[in-house]
Amino acid sequence: MNHDNTPKKMRVSFDLDEVLFVSANTHKTEPPLPFPLRNIYKERLRLGTPQLINRLQELDYEVWVYTSSFRSEGYIKRLFRLYGIKFDGIVNGNRHLKEVQRDNPTILPQKVPTFYRISLHIDDESIICTYGREYGFNTYQLDAPDDEWAEKIIKRAEEIRNRSDEFVK
């Protein structure tokens, strides 16, 4: 039971593949990093990623990464640092296996954002979004190019935060 009533920052998490990392052939993207960094960090960011993450943090949200990929935390941190982004938390496939799945005989979903007190998770996969209902987290499904994705995600986050007393606003 949590007796600590101090408001906390609401946590929002983003999937990486097909959400923040997209193909430049199908999506508008941020410019690649300068040479030689672009040869180390090959992923391309969805256009508007740095502005959206920084905006959410200015609005008093914590922003996390929750990916089922096995890219290391250091790699993810360094790549986003180069775009001026500092996440509040990073969960990759290894961390999920170690902290969430553990030796549980039942195979849990690939992502359980509620385990990390994440209230809103953005993902391209409908299966993850379906689990949201079962495991009690809100989701926003982003599975295509959308010029208004940033505004829509901020709006969704605000709706969730406004209906709860738990959070700093």
- Nearest Cα neighbor of 52 from 138, 163, 140, 130 is 140
Read off the tokens for 101. Answer: 């799945």
Pick one of 18, 88, 158, 166: the residue that binds Mg ion (CB under 5 A): 18
d(CA 68, CA 14): 11
Q: Using the rule CB under 5 A, is 30 a contact of Mg ion?
A: no
From the number of C-beta atoms within 10 Å of its C-beta (0-12, 13-18, 19+), residue 3 rates as: exposed
In the complex with Mg ion, the residue whose CB is nearer, 62 or 123, is 123
Q: Using the rule CB under 5 A, is 109 a contact of Mg ion?
A: no
In the chain, the N- to C-terminal Cα span, in Å, equals 23
CB of residue 60 to Mg ion, shortest distance in Å:
26
In the complex with Mg ion, the residue whose CB is nearer, 118 or 161, is 118
Pick one of 124, 146, 158, 166: the residue that binds Mg ion (CB under 5 A): 124
CB of residue 15 to Mg ion, shortest distance in Å:
4
Q: Which residue has the tokens 């996390």?
A: 64
Q: Using the rule CB under 5 A, is 141 a contact of Mg ion?
A: no
Question: Which positions touch Mg ion (CB under 5 A)?
Answer: 15, 17-18, 124
